[in-house]
Structure 1
Amino acid sequence: MKWAHDNPDLFAMMEKTRMYVFRNLDPEEPIQTSGYICNFEDLEIKSVLLDEIMKDPERPNKDNLINFEIRSLRDSRALIEKVGIKDASQFIKDNPHPRLWRLLAEAALQKLDLKEAEQAFVCCKDYQGIEFVKRLGNLQSEPMKQAEVATYFSRFEEAERMYLDIDRRDLAISLRIKLGDWFRVLQLLKSGSGDCDDALLEQAYNAIGDYFADRQKWVNAVQYYLQGCNQERLAECYSMLEDYQGLEQMTALLPENHQLLPDIGQMFATVGMCEQAVEAYLKCNQPKAAIDTCVHLNQWNKAVELARTHNMKEIKSLLSKYASHLLEKNKTLEAVELYRKAHYFLDAAKLMFKIADEEAEKGTRPLRVKKLYVLAARLATSALAGLLEEDATSSDDRIVDHAWRGAEAYHFFLLAQRQLYEGYMENATRTALHLREYEDIIPAVEIYSLLAVCAAANRAFGTCSQAFIKLESLESLDLDQRQPYEDLALEIFTKHTPKDNHTMEPDRSEGAEGKLPTCIVTGQPIQEYQFWMCSVCKHCALGQEICKYNFCPLCHTPVA
């Protein structure tokens, strides 16, 4: 049993396979059905064939939902169709219900009986219906009224056909715009014999483009956005399609300072296309955004070039921030490369010297340490060319003036050992003696240990004795570490007199222009007037010695 939602005098009930409808406890003739009542409203009963549904509950069918009209609704519809609106109106007045008045109003509209339709809408309290009837009353053309009524009843094809029959293509287009049927709008615009509204045509193209974009059919959307001149959505489609060539072409075609250019620049920056992003940002006069993009993409050369071109000062702070970030993650070499690419060679050199010093303290292979010092020195040399006197601090002066000192120390350290193993004992001894100038770079214990070995091999026991005396007096060695040196010295000098057979101190007397240069091939002082000098490290070598090499032994620059 189910009471009507909108009428307390109506209820329906089932009795086996028959449905009874009661009005004021007076039953209507029964309806044969095996459905279950689920709703009773607007003089209609909705029932469900549960038995049929339960046969296959996973796949219910709409046919198992059945609507039944009660007798008053059936009688009213029959009166309207067979007798007429006026007689039906009298019957509905005797049996009033909003559904019946609405049925009468719709029938009156079909016959264009506007007076009767308005009264019926008033009785069913349908304000929109009343307004619609008033609007119909203002129309003079009968076909126009019929077309509006067809639209009211959702017979849109019929309404469009009527509009076209009375040569009102504009109203047909307006109808399709309201319905959102832009494909039909475009057909109607193109089918007309006269000129169509360009703005409306663009609107149609863009609406169809939106239709395809909403369904992620970007290729189709591009075609319509191109015709609709919708640059913003076109850029979005190009981005989704990863058609960056199309975005480049759009960047070239857009006028300067166009509002879309920053967005296009961001699209390029997102995928790492630095050059294209910079072009877009510069075209809209945003050099700061272009520089930020270069920094983000590690294109520091371009960033510095842009900063110099546009006289921007914050590039130094940006470099410092990023370098600090790298150093916090122990990525010192990446920070060096960062400064080098940005042409901040002095900062790169400082970091490189720091790396070389750390590697030297760890006792890393001397050849590796030498290479690190050479790289640091070359960076410092590059910085010297662009370093203004007023820009340099005292620490900077020290780095630039003594840039090659670390490389020199490890170069002669390696050279002395190479000469020793190759059997050139005297040369090895003289080179080891030269190493005494680099106690601030190479630990003294290593220098004098090497000197003692070379001097002993050269049977220069006087020099060897001096080296052992120095080793035994080093404050950096504790008693346990000094004892092996003392024992070894005692063993050597009980057998050999601590005296040199000939003078071992290299003749480094002052020349006409100061201290004599040292040959980087032999480690000996150059006393000749003509010698070779490296174009990069400015170190010298004897002509007859350097001719055996293709590269500078110290900095590895090709020999001219």
Structure 2
Amino acid sequence: MEAVELYRKANKNTESARLLAEIAQKLQEKRAPPLMIKKIYVLAAFEIDSYKQRVFDASMTQITSGGNTADATAKTLNSLITTDINSSADKALSNPWKGAEAIHYYLLCQRQLYQKEYNRAMKTAIRLIEYEKELDTREVYSLIALASYYNKCYKECSKAFVKLERMPNTTKEVREKFESIALALFSRHSPVDAPQVKFPCPKKGCDAQVSEYDTNCQRCGSFYSACIASGQSIVVKEYYTCKTCKHKAMLKELDYLSLKHCPLCHAVVQPQTKS
């Protein structure tokens, strides 16, 4: 961590971000406390954001007063795109925010399960499918199976068990255990989901009905951002965007959970930035 601080003082944000991301990845391999790993990923992400801001500011300074707004915008965007490409070429710098999000939703899902908020836990568990590269795939589908079972969505639970049974590198012994558990569960419960809330896709011109558990519309392809406070898909206009990390949370969830700080980066919630 001393090396990280030295790089930060020297304004070498990409180097400090790389070290932080590597530390986080190594801690994940060693099964260190997830909350600690999440905080390190957030620090790495802040370093990348600082680097991008410096590139942005430098680009704006270089633009002469004779250039028009379109030229200035084009040059700035080109600089930022180049920065993104250069950063993504290094695996450790690809997207630290995604690593932080993965751990955040992983912890959130387990907390919701312990609090017996099974409907919320299932929504968060399904969101974890987006983070199979950042998390252990077996843990992701185990959480989906567990949350779906307690939420009485046995079809979704069955699908999760099929995924677990067919997972590569699964030993015969482990596969037989999954099969035994599945047989015990589905001999008592038919693989049918409990009734789900449906709502119209919020995209203009799309008349599809989507489930409360969907993270995207299968008809128009619209992707629904996750609420950082609850793990649910955001399909309403009343949401808050964190000024620091730019992640979103539904206002009703901030009120319901009485949150005064961003659940991801812990910045103070600022009412003037509510959307």
Normalising by structure 1, report the TM-score: 0.39
Q: Distance in 2 between matches of 1:358 and 1:393?
A: 24
Q: Distance in 2 between matches of 1:534 and 1:511?
A: 30
Contact 2:154 2:191 survives alignment (8 Å): yes
1:521 to 209, 229, 235: 229
1:362 to 11, 19, 30: 30
1:454 — aligned with what? 147
1:373 aligns with 2:66: no
Deviation at 1:348, TM superposition (A): 0.6
Contact 1:510 1:516 survives alignment (8 Å): no
- 1:238-257 aligned within 5 A: none
1:552 aligns with 2:243: no
Contact 1:381 1:403 survives alignment (8 Å): no
1:469 aligns with 2:137: no
Contact 1:346 1:380 survives alignment (8 Å): yes
Q: Which runs of 5+ in 1 are unaligned?
A: 1-332
2:204 — aligned with what? none
Deviation at 1:513, TM superposition (A): 11
1:404 to 90, 97, 113: 97
Letter in 1 for 2:50: S
Contact 1:506 1:524 survives alignment (8 Å): no
Contact 1:353 1:373 survives alignment (8 Å): yes
Cα distance 1:354–1:549, how it changes in 2: closer, same or farther (>3 A)? Answer: same
Q: Which has the higher contact order (CA 8 A, sep 6+)?
A: 2
Secondary structure of the 1:441 match is: coil
Q: Determine which structure has more spread, i.e. the larger CA radius of gyration.
A: 1
Aligned structure 1 segments of 4 or more residues deviating by more than 4 angstroms: 398-401, 510-514
Letter in 1 for 2:251: G
1:429 to 118, 122, 141: 122
Deviations 1:471-524 (A, max 9, x none): 011113222222221111111111111111224632532899952221111111
Count of equivalent residues: 228
Contact 1:551 1:558 survives alignment (8 Å): yes
1:350 aligns with 2:18: yes
- 1:262-281 aligned within 5 A: none
Identity rate of aligned residues, in percent?
36
Deviation at 1:468, TM superposition (A): 0.6
Letter in 2 for 1:499: V
Contact 1:439 1:447 survives alignment (8 Å): yes
Deviation at 1:419, TM superposition (A): 0.8
Letter in 1 for 2:226: T
Secondary structure of the 2:96 match is: coil
1:440 — aligned with what? 133
- 1:186-265 aligned within 5 A: none
Q: Distance in 2 between matches of 1:535 and 1:344?
A: 23
Q: Distance in 1 between matches of 2:112 and 2:155?
A: 20
Secondary structure of the 1:535 match is: coil
Q: Distance in 2 between matches of 1:473 and 1:542?
A: 36
1:498 to 157, 177, 191: 191
Q: Which runs of 5+ in 2 are unaligned?
A: 57-78, 197-211, 271-275
1:531 — aligned with what? 239
Normalising by structure 2, report the TM-score: 0.76
Cα distance 1:436–1:518, how it changes in 2: closer, same or farther (>3 A)? Answer: same
